[in-house]
Structure 1
Amino acid sequence: MHVPDGFINAPVSVAAGAVAATAVAVSLRGARRELDERTAPLAGLVAAFIFAVQMLNFPVAAGTSGHLLGGALAAILVGPYTGVLCVSVVLLMQGILFADGGLTALGVNITNMAVVTVVVAYAVFRGLLRLLPAGRRSVTAAAFAGALLSVPGAAVMFTLFYALGGTTDVPIGKVFTAMTGVHVLIGIGEAVITAATVGAVIAVRPDLVHGARGLAVPLKLRVDGRLVDAPAAPAAPVPAAARSTRPLWISGLVTALVLAGFVSYYASSSPDGLEKVAADQGIDAKAREHAAADSPLADYSVKDVSDARLSGGLAGIIGVGGTVLVGTGVFWAVRRRRADDLTAVATAAPSAH
């Protein structure tokens, strides 16, 4: 759903940029409460994983494909504020290096694909967790539902942007019907990927899943035909190996590199939902060439590498590496700012007397 330059006029693009900048600023502040020394590097990994999986377009209808947006996945794994930042980092890397998503439309894309998807997905996720019995299966089911609804939510937001500032005269009713229809189908793929990934991480490190915190169910014992809470077991020291996030980080990075560097070659070549709707309805009549169209990595290929498989694979590996570096740098900076704030509060506390 990367919106190119020229779909939305300048005034609305500027307004969307202001909304996106405000959301990012709020998220930078909110992420200080979500990130710690373990989750900061994992947030960079989540951004890289989203970048990799977005290269894997899957078919959803005749001549149409879809790909992960990632807002639901990021919000549930590392928190909603950090989730907005994760997807924003991905969109920035894609727009600057790979000419994917217009630079003048960056605000539109961040609002659609980062802010709206996170808000919708996390609201649905948290709402369902209040209704479902506590447990890992409920977390996975709620993640599925949140991801499913987040994609048509983003499609509705694009429709609103088009209604306010579309550069062509396509009736808004046609845009709404076409966008929501195809993105409901794409939402199913989003939900499957999100639920599978969240379930896999919960299986090995539930303590690292932001959306699963505080959901431990007390052990029950049957005594005289009644279920009672089991006595709390004495706390046992946690081995250093169990506390370390390195194994998960390494396995996640290797998975992202394999997906972007090798599996992406077999992704669907059909246009994604927005591209298909734009071509069918004439929304792309005034689309402009991307400012970075001559980038050495434009269109996810390495310039002057003639072999398509090698070119695309190298571009994917470079993208994953660049995203994990930039993302980890951003999140460590946010984490450090939190540590500085806590230090300042602790230092100032004695002077309050």
Structure 2
Amino acid sequence: MHVPDGFINAPVSAVTGVVAAGAVAVSLRGARRELGSERAAPLAGLVAAFIFAVQMLNFPVAAGTSGHLLGGALAAILVGPYTGVLCVSVVLLMQGVLFADGGLTALGVNITDMAITTTVVAYLVFRGLVKVLPKKRRSITVASFVAALLSVPAAAVVFTLIYAIGGTTDVSIGKVATAMVGVHVLIGIGEAVITALTVGAVVAVRPDLVYGARGLHQPLKLKVNGELVDAPTPVTTPVAARSHRKVWLVGLAASVVLAGFVSFYASANPDGLEKVAHDKGIDQKAKEHASSDSPLADYGVKDITDARISGGLAGIIGVGVTVVAGTGIFWALRRRRTSDVASTEVPAASEQVS
């Protein structure tokens, strides 16, 4: 659903850019709270890289149409909604600048649609379901499936609204809305399957690494003098640092394999937005990407003629750049949070001494 340059006029693109910048600023503050542990920053960077990798795997959804993961639901559930917005935004920035995927003037539109909308909708649905479902691991998976499923058509609706306000061609918005929502419901099923499988796999082995699984277990009850009371919380041994590194390495290896090798077998059909844009004529004023001469444009390495090697190498480079950029941003936020906490604790301690 990457919107190219020329679909949306300049004023509306500017407004969505302001909205996106404001949301990213809020997310930067909120992510400081979510990145509470030392392991959170590299895990968030890994989530961004994994989303980049899986987005390269277009899957067929209808005759002549494909879809790919948007990633907002997956990121929000794994690392938190604020950090999730940043994860998807990092992916969109890397794709736009390095791979000429998604217009640079439309970056605000894409962040608003693919990062903010999907993350907010998915996390609200997920939290609502988790509150009413039994506190079991299976409930996390079920809630992830439904949240991801609904987040994709929600993004299609938001794009249609943006196009209705600032579209550059005169087309029937009703027909665009019907086509966009219809095909993205099908894409949403693929998104839901990928999200549920990924979240379910992580919850099965390390539920402590899943932001949305916090408070998963109900407190144990003991019967004392005929009344049920909460049992004392058992003291748990901290998970070894190498165990966390193992999960990170496995996730990175999976991302490299998906982007570097499996992506060669992805569907070559246009994705949902491209198909609707072509069929309904909303791509008449699409512009050439400003980074079309990038050495990695269109997910291939320039001057390498073998399509398999070119695409695979581009995918591996993309995973590497995304994990480094994402981890760097989240480490900086983590350090900023640590320094803020330290600065508030020092005056408090000096007041007690005096």
**TM-score range, shorter-chain basis?**
over 0.9
Moved more, 125-134 or 305-314: 125-134
TM-aligned CA deviation for residue 221 of structure 1: 8.2
Per-residue CA deviations over 1:314-345 (Å, capped at 9, x if unaligned) read 00000000000000000000000000100110
Contact 2:113-2:159 within 8 A present in 1 as well: yes
Give the Cα separation in 2 of the matches to 1:274 and 1:302.
25
Per-residue CA deviations over 1:142-170 (Å, capped at 9, x if unaligned) read 11111000000000010011010000001
Moved more, 58-67 or 127-136: 127-136
| 2:18 aligned with 1:41 | no
2:203 corresponds to which residue? Answer: 202
Give the Cα separation in 1 of the matches to 2:16 and 2:151.
19
1:90 corresponds to which residue? Answer: 91
TM-aligned CA deviation for residue 352 of structure 1: 5.0
Structure 2 unaligned regions, length at least 5: none
Change (3 A) 1:191 1:236: closer
Contact 2:148-2:195 within 8 A present in 1 as well: yes
Which residues in structure 2 correspond to 1:140-219 (within 5 Å)? Answer: 140-219=141-220
TM-aligned CA deviation for residue 238 of structure 1: 3.4
Which residues in structure 2 correspond to 1:1-353 (within 5 Å)? Answer: 1-35=1-35, 36-219=37-220, 231-232=231-232, 234-238=234-238, 240=240, 244-350=243-349
Contact 1:72-1:122 within 8 A present in 2 as well: yes
SS at match of 2:143: helix
Give aligned pairs, total. 350
TM-aligned CA deviation for residue 217 of structure 1: 2.5
TM-aligned CA deviation for residue 215 of structure 1: 1.4
Give the Cα separation in 2 of the matches to 1:230 and 1:30.
32
Letter aligned with residue 311 of structure 1 = S
TM-aligned CA deviation for residue 222 of structure 1: 10
Change (3 A) 1:351 1:57: same
TM-score normalised by structure 1 residue count: 0.96
Letter aligned with residue 248 of structure 2 = W
SS at match of 1:337: helix
Kindly report structure 1 stretches of 4+ aligned residues shifted beyond 3 Å: 218-223, 226-234, 350-353
TM-aligned CA deviation for residue 350 of structure 1: 3.8
Change (3 A) 1:236 1:284: closer
Give the Cα separation in 1 of the matches to 2:334 and 2:169.
44
Change (3 A) 1:163 1:233: closer
Letter aligned with residue 292 of structure 2 = A
Give the Cα separation in 2 of the matches to 1:55 and 1:222.
54
SS at match of 1:44: helix
Per-residue CA deviations over 1:259-283 (Å, capped at 9, x if unaligned) read 0000000000000000000000000
Contact 1:218-1:229 within 8 A present in 2 as well: no
TM-aligned CA deviation for residue 348 of structure 1: 1.9
Give the Cα separation in 1 of the matches to 2:210 and 2:229.
25
Give the Cα separation in 1 of the matches to 2:60 and 2:239.
45
SS at match of 2:25: helix
Give the Cα separation in 1 of the matches to 2:53 and 2:227.
47
Change (3 A) 1:303 1:124: same
Give the Cα separation in 2 of the matches to 1:29 and 1:349.
23
Give the Cα separation in 1 of the matches to 2:182 and 2:122.
18
TM-aligned CA deviation for residue 234 of structure 1: 4.2
Give the Cα separation in 2 of the matches to 1:234 and 1:24.
39
Identity of aligned residues (%): 75
Per-residue CA deviations over 1:61-114 (Å, capped at 9, x if unaligned) read 000000000000000000000000000000000000000000000000000000
TM-aligned CA deviation for residue 38 of structure 1: 1.1
SS at match of 2:341: helix
Contact 1:103-1:290 within 8 A present in 2 as well: yes
Per-residue CA deviations over 1:275-318 (Å, capped at 9, x if unaligned) read 00000000000000000000000000000000000000000000
TM-aligned CA deviation for residue 236 of structure 1: 4.3
Moved more, 170-179 or 94-103: 170-179
Change (3 A) 1:154 1:233: closer
Change (3 A) 1:338 1:230: closer
Change (3 A) 1:129 1:337: same
Letter aligned with residue 101 of structure 2 = D
TM-aligned CA deviation for residue 232 of structure 1: 4.3
TM-aligned CA deviation for residue 230 of structure 1: 8.3
Letter aligned with residue 25 of structure 2 = A
Contact 2:219-2:231 within 8 A present in 1 as well: no
Structure 1 unaligned regions, length at least 5: none
TM-aligned CA deviation for residue 220 of structure 1: 6.4
